[in-house]
Structure 1
Amino acid sequence: MSHLFQTYSRWDITVKEAKGSYLVDENGKEYLDFVQGIAVSNLGHCNQAVTEAVKAQLDKVWHVSNMFHYPLQEQVAKKLTEHSDGDLVFFCNSGAEANEAAIKLARKKTQKKNIITFTQSFHGRTYATMAATAQEKIKIGFGPMLEGFHYLPYNDAESLQSFEGDDIAAVMLEVIQGEGGVNPAEESFLEAVKTFCEEKDALLIIDEIQTGIGRTGKPFAYQHYNLSPDIMTLAKGLGNGFPIGAIVGKKELGDAFSPGSHGTTFGGNMLAMAAADAVTTKIFNEEFLKDVQQKSEYLIEKLKTELDVPTVKSIRGKGFIIGIECTEEIQPVLLKLQEQGFLVIPAGPNVIRLLPPLTVTKAEVDTAVTKIKEAIYAVSTVNSKG
């Protein structure tokens, strides 16, 4: 009998250790890991620089509360703002907390209530972030949601332009939807969002929790487009496995988060800051990001070449967040891949999601593509007849 709430559908794998692109289970079986904690360990498991930074901080001090000055907070915040359009940072512990803070900040600054989000979005599982998420399945059984959220079709500029209503505090979106199916935004749609925010005097919130910290080959995914978010939310890759979240906002928003208006006990914890400092030092390096771009382009092109089969409908994404949409449910493919020692996750019932570490090698990419192709052929009756 388990003493845990059964909130997760767990795999039949118990991890004993992990390093870089690989993890090992309790039976000694090795897996090439293209999950990486769901886009968390961007530098791979147990990255040496991050490990050493956290270990060094462990011997100094762990936690004293945010009543004290943390020089590392300022140091990490400076790097986040220098590599983005933001000016001010608030540190928290998770992506859901970051999105909660963004919602609070937008409403308080604008003194407006309504926030527009988009179908198939995912912004978290707290009450406000559940309300922001336009996927009904995560809300079932929890009663009335927080009011003020309006859901429009993603990548539909016309529906946004025809939206009637004012009192809009913000538009909140992912430029590449992760949980919703690895759906990249179209540039025309993002231009419509930008224009809408200007016309409605609304803030633009970009959720970079899964796409940020180098995953798309730039520090943040919005930088592939002509956008300048008022608020950006971060988590996952920022700590490489150590719990952390953050919002990055423009200086004009500073007066809305005055002393006592928002807070957290553990946010900006010294251990988290040590991890984030090591992560950002490595990932925000221009040569490192160039290498990510080159390797991710290699992976996408190889997938398109090798997976030219009837079952594969499309391959999409940017950098190292990639979706393989299939015409059949992909759960049998995922299980076959696990048998083969390769780990990926779904993004809906028909999309295989690839989230390799940014440090992945071309040899590991080649191995991954071969295994995916073999698994798809092994379980698909359509391909076997082709």
Structure 2
Amino acid sequence: MNLFNVYPLFNIHPVKAEGSFLWDEKGEKYLDFYGGHAVISIGHNHPYYQGKLKEQLEKISFYSNSVQNELQTELADKLGKLSGYEDYNLFLCNSGAEANENALKLASFHNGKSKVLYFSGSFHGRTSAAVSVTDNPKIVAPVNYSERFIKSDWNDIEQLEQIFKTQGNDISSVIIEGIQGVGGIMIPTQEFLSKIKTLCEEYNAVLIMDEVQSGYGRSGYFFAHQEFEIQPDIITTAKGMGNGFPIGGVLIHPKFEASNGLLGTTFGGNHLACAAAIAVLDVMKEEKLMENAQHMGDYIEQKIKDFPHIKSIRRKGLMIGIELDRDCSEVRKELLYDHHIFTGNSNDKSVLRILPALNIGTQETDLFIDALQTVLNAI
């Protein structure tokens, strides 16, 4: 049997990782400035994280959600305190797409409506409803298309108001990323988010904030939307939540009523996943990683802002989009193969996406800065 060939792969085979570095089977060392799509939040193989997982493995690694699991309670308590959403409830699942699926379903259960408003440039996942609110026709199969899903332009208040004026009574929810990642580090304006919140309240629609990539301290706030003092009805999270262990979550406003069987999952919130997620929160708090994300993001921007071929820098904390005056693919390849540095791209071909671990330091960061300068100067 062969693998189903759906991933374009770099010819690199990592076999070891520590902190912000990877090593391949030949012993070559690479700087990880992408974290596997912002998944590695506290660095590879953080000793505290490793210890928590090993400790849990010696006890119990899995049982279904038909029994009590005190680790889920501990995770909910710590997540509520660190995020500032102590009065919300938590549903645990396995991924960002699954979190968004459950959020969309819960919203529809809540108000009995069926339409969903999403935005240009969005990415919310590859499963049924999640991919239907993702702005990429290449990954939306015919079975996923439906008139229930309405697209509006990013940061376009006039179009947003017009859609609500004509279809607002049928809109169950609005789903929006705290910062668009795949879309190219696109940041919503305060006015845009405020208008969405106002319209949701006026038309009894649920505001779902997708913080799968932009959450967990990535922006310098626990959730990116908190900079704008907007309170969503539902918040989804995943990626950095488990530092590589698959876990996702839905933070749910107390106005939503739970009932037996309303939502469910086999693997979500299992013992190992909770141990990983608790370790991440402990490290974030102890090492003040949100503050570090703000500090190191500022540091990178100040160092690179005058480099040639950079048109703009779109950034919150360590969620960074470097817009070049050309397609970024060659720059990305040179950084990887000539300088051994992992970076990312986006649907905007000119944007180099930077998502390092939140505990990155100046020593590792200077390696990236020097390499980027060398590559850009050589163009």
TM range (shorter): over 0.9
Change (3 A) 1:46 1:359: same
Alignment of 1:235-250 (within 5 A): 235-250=238-253
Instruction: Give the Å deviation of 1:147.
Output: 4.4
Match in the other structure for 1:352:
352
Structure 2: gaps (5+ residues): none
Secondary structure at 2:370's aligned position in 1?
A: helix
Match in the other structure for 1:155:
155
| 1:29 partner amino acid | E
Match in the other structure for 2:336:
338
Deviation per CA, 1:212-247, whole angstroms, max 9, x where unpaired? 111111211111112001100010101001000000
Instruction: Give the Å deviation of 1:286.
Output: 8.1
Contact map agreement 2:175 2:210 (CA 8 A) in 1: yes
CA distance in 2, matches of 1:304, 1:225: 25
Alignment of 1:28-47 (within 5 A): 28-47=27-46
1:201 and 2:195 correspond = no
| 1:87 partner amino acid | Y
Match in the other structure for 2:316:
318
Match in the other structure for 1:178:
181
| 1:324 partner amino acid | I
CA distance in 2, matches of 1:293, 1:167: 40
CA distance in 1, matches of 2:144, 2:280: 39
Structure 1 stretches of 4+ moved >3 Å: 141-144, 284-288
Contact map agreement 2:129 2:144 (CA 8 A) in 1: no
CA distance in 2, matches of 1:49, 1:295: 22
1:228 and 2:231 correspond = yes
Secondary structure at 1:53's aligned position in 2?
A: helix
Instruction: Give the Å deviation of 1:25.
Output: 0.9
Match in the other structure for 1:327:
325
Instruction: Give the Å deviation of 1:80.
Output: 2.0
CA distance in 2, matches of 1:79, 1:371: 39
1:212 and 2:211 correspond = no
Match in the other structure for 1:279:
280
Change (3 A) 1:285 1:196: farther
How many aligned positions are there? 372
Deviation per CA, 1:193-220, whole angstroms, max 9, x where unpaired? 1111121121110000001111111211
Contact map agreement 2:178 2:223 (CA 8 A) in 1: no
Task: State, as a whole percentage, how many aligned pairs show the same letter.
Answer: 40
CA distance in 1, matches of 2:58, 2:240: 24
TM-score under structure 2 length normalisation = 0.95
CA distance in 1, matches of 2:133, 2:216: 23
TM-score under structure 1 length normalisation = 0.93
CA distance in 2, matches of 1:313, 1:362: 24
CA distance in 1, matches of 2:203, 2:112: 13
Secondary structure at 2:261's aligned position in 1?
A: coil
Q: CA RMSD in A?
A: 1.4
Secondary structure at 1:91's aligned position in 2?
A: strand
Instruction: Give the Å deviation of 1:373.
Output: 1.8
CA distance in 2, matches of 1:76, 1:108: 26
Instruction: Give the Å deviation of 1:81.
Output: 2.2
Alignment of 1:1-386 (within 5 A): 3-82=2-81, 83-85=83-85, 87-139=88-140, 141-163=141-163, 164-165=166-167, 166-253=169-256, 255=257, 257-285=258-286, 287-305=288-306, 307=307, 309=308, 311-339=309-337, 340-348=339-347, 349-378=349-378, 380=379
Structure 1: gaps (5+ residues): 381-386
CA distance in 1, matches of 2:156, 2:127: 27
Instruction: Give the Å deviation of 1:292.
Output: 2.4
Contact map agreement 2:132 2:144 (CA 8 A) in 1: no
Deviation per CA, 1:124-183, whole angstroms, max 9, x where unpaired? 0001111011222221x5445244111000011111122221221111101210001111
Change (3 A) 1:20 1:264: same
CA distance in 2, matches of 1:239, 1:287: 17
Match in the other structure for 1:383:
none
Secondary structure at 1:324's aligned position in 2?
A: strand
Instruction: Give the Å deviation of 1:59.
Output: 0.5
Contact map agreement 1:84 1:220 (CA 8 A) in 2: no
